Amino acid sequence: MDQLTMKKMAAEAALQYVKADSIVGVGSGSTVNCFIEALATIKDKIKGAVTASKASEKLLKEQGIEVFSTNDVSSLDIYVDGADEINPQKMMIKGGGAALTREKIVAALAKTFICIVDSSKQVDVLGSTFALPIEVIPMARSQVARKLVALGGSPEYREGVITDNGNVILDIYNFKIMNPVEMEKELNNIAGVVTNGIFALRGADIIIVGTPNGAKIIK
């Protein structure tokens, strides 16, 4: 079974958590695109969505789903997003699509964070297969990179990428994250870092994994 089919399975399984007349939190990325397509099939049952990226906002509008600002809502019942990696403790690395800051903002509004992934995203230790993205204010790029080298990482500037917030991305390679909560805090305390792609302080509540045997729900 191909990866796209497994992503679609996970995305469609997430529809069971969508409440009638609610505003749904929506992340970004290829798996979330599958969720937006699935959400369109029940768009008449919901009020609309709050999203974490301009790309997802465009797709939602194309599907006829009203998009609200984060400033329009005080909370969300659910937030549905993918991950680049997720560990058994439901902590994640996100930011492959450079939307990590806005994803953290929308996730913080949600009562329940539902992470939809295919089985290739499951790891025991974060940083095992995917670089850790960090959103950085442009003037601080070099000094932040030096701090990351001192912490044992190998940062690379993601050339040609500007986030929806007007910032740049550094990807840290060779950086296995043994204590995600403490590392998330430490990296966020570096001057010039907007946020990093570790989602440990606010991890997922439910994981839906697309597998060759169907969607598997982990609570």
Give me the active site residues, please. Answer: 103
Q: Is 192 annotated as a binding residue?
A: no
Tokens of 146: 């030096």
Q: Is 95 annotated as a binding residue?
A: yes
Q: Is 28 annotated as a binding residue?
A: yes
- 160: exposed, middle or buried (C-beta count within 10 Å: 0-12, 13-18, 19+)? exposed
Q: Determine how many CB atoms are found less than 10 A away from the CB of residue 174.
A: 10
Distances (CA, A) of 140 to 44, 144, 190: 45, 6, 10
Q: Is 197 annotated as a binding residue?
A: no
Q: Is 94 annotated as a binding residue?
A: yes
Q: How far apart are CA 219 and CA 204, in angstroms?
A: 9
Tokens of 39: 């959400």
Q: Are 78 and 114 in contact (CB under 8 A)?
A: yes
> Strand pairing partners for 170?
134, 157
Q: Is 83 annotated as a binding residue?
A: yes
Q: Is 205 annotated as a binding residue?
A: no
Q: Is 147 annotated as a binding residue?
A: no
Q: Is 127 annotated as a binding residue?
A: no
Q: How far apart are CA 23 and CA 69, in angstroms?
A: 11
Q: Are 152 and 176 in contact (CB under 8 A)?
A: no
Annotated binding site, which residues?
28-31, 81-84, 94-97, 121
Residues annotated within a binding site for substrate: 28-31, 81-84, 94-97, 121
